[in-house]
């Protein structure tokens, strides 16, 4: 539960980086000082953990909501996530996609093939352009991603994260049980167990997983478990300037997410796969997958 706490304990007792050539006396002195410091630090840390209000897994069932009508594509969430979770370059726990939908002005010259396409069924030739430069880490360029901006019918942003599916294919396929659904509804990865086979990366229909390029284990969004289990917000929710992201406890009728989902119409990503995702999208366009 408190992965960060234990990590901090580990860091606290770890020897300082960069060795020096110490004499025997210096070594002993240093060792005693370090041990004493570590003990105090450990004690303080454990006290701090113990002092936190008791978090009961069974009282929680976490879920996420994204209001795509609010997102402005600034990329603050991506940057916050990267900073909070030390996400390696080129890998993404969250990202933002930009959809630009254009309508061909030459509506009367379709070919027979185009007439039978889904775009035609939607009332005209519709071309969808999706871009996501570097996961939107630096937001989006101001110019339109299409040749003729006048043809743009509509455009919108869609943030993506791990869907924390209730019947998650990544949990199903993990050969060693390193990926698991926690009792409070989050799909998490035990880094001490994962073998880095990448089967979960293949099984996730949403492309939310990656193999950590340095450590070799599978990695993805944890919904900032180390924060939310202490009553804090996730980094991305904290950073979003327009409130496009929300999370909360579905078991709590007064939670923000319950109120949001109770008053909005939402959709899920690829529900036909039966993964029962717990990331609810408000205002999701048909074109988003």
Residues within the interface to other proteins (CB under 8 A): 90-92, 95, 97, 118, 128-135, 141, 145, 160, 169, 171-178, 193-199, 201-212, 215-218, 273, 289
- Phi, psi torsion values for 189, nearest 5 degrees: -125, 130
Residue closer to other proteins by CB (options 117, 259) is 117
Q: How far is the CB of 86 from other proteins (least distance, A)?
A: 16
Q: How far is the CB of 29 from other proteins (least distance, A)?
A: 37
Residue closer to other proteins by CB (options 45, 82) is 82
Residue 88 sits at the vertex; the CA angle it makes with 84 and 91, to the nearest 5 degrees, is: 105
CB atoms within 10 A of CB 33: 10
Residue closer to other proteins by CB (options 9, 101) is 101
Q: How far is the CB of 40 from other proteins (least distance, A)?
A: 34
Residue closer to other proteins by CB (options 23, 90) is 90
Residue 58 sits at the vertex; the CA angle it makes with 55 and 60, to the nearest 5 degrees, is: 75
Q: How far is the CB of 118 from other proteins (least distance, A)?
A: 8
Residue closer to other proteins by CB (options 29, 289) is 289
Token digits for 185? 């509804």
Q: Where are the alpha helices (DSSP H) in 143-248?
A: 169-173, 199-203, 225-228, 235-239
Token digits for 84? 């909070």
Q: How far is the CB of 79 from other proteins (least distance, A)?
A: 14
Residue closer to other proteins by CB (options 43, 289) is 289
Q: Where are the alpha helices (DSSP H) in the chain?
A: 3-13, 24-51, 76-85, 112-115, 118-121, 169-173, 199-203, 225-228, 235-239, 256-263
Q: How far is the CB of 34 from other proteins (least distance, A)?
A: 29
Q: How far is the CB of 144 from other proteins (least distance, A)?
A: 10
Q: HSE-up of 228 (CA within 13 Å, CB side)?
A: 23
Residue closer to other proteins by CB (options 97, 184) is 97
- Phi, psi torsion values for 145, nearest 5 degrees: -80, 15
CB atoms within 10 A of CB 200: 26
CA distance 70 to 76: 14
CA distance 132 to 137: 9
């Amino acid at each position: 539960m408190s992965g960060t706490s234990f990590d901090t304990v580990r860091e606290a007792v770890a020897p300082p980086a960069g060795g020096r050539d110490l004499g025997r006396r210096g070594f002993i002195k240093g060792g005693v000082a370090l041990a004493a410091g570590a003990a105090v630090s450990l004690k303080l840390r454990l006290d701090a953990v113990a002092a936190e209000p008791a978090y009961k897994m069974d009282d929680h069932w976490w879920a996420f909501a994204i209001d795509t009508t609010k997102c402005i594509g600034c990329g603050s969430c991506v940057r916050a996530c990267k900073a909070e979770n030390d996400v390696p370059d080129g890998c993404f726990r969250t990202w933002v996609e930009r959809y630009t939908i254009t309508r061909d002005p030459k509506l009367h010259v379709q070919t027979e093939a185009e007439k039978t396409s889904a775009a035609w069924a939607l009332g005209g030739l519709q071309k969808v352009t999706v871009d996501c430069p570097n996961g939107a880490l630096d937001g989006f360029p101001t110019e339109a991603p299409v040749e003729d901006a006048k043809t743009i019918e509509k455009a919108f942003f869609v943030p993506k994260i791990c869907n924390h599916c209730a019947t998650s294919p990544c949990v199903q396929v993990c050969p060693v049980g390193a990926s698991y659904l926690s009792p409070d509804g989050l799909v998490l990865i035990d880094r001490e167990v994962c073998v880095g086979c990448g089967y979960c990366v293949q099984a996730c229909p949403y492309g939310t997983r990656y193999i950590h390029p340095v450590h070799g284990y599978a990695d993805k969004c944890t919904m900032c478990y180390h924060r939310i289990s202490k009553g804090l917000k996730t980094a991305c929710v904290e950073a979003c300037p327009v409130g496009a992201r929300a999370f909360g406890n579905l078991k709590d009728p007064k939670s923000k997410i319950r109120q949001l989902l109770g008053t909005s119409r939402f959709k899920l990503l690829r529900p036909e796969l039966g993964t029962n995702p717990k990331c609810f999208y408000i205002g999701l366009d048909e074109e988003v997958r």
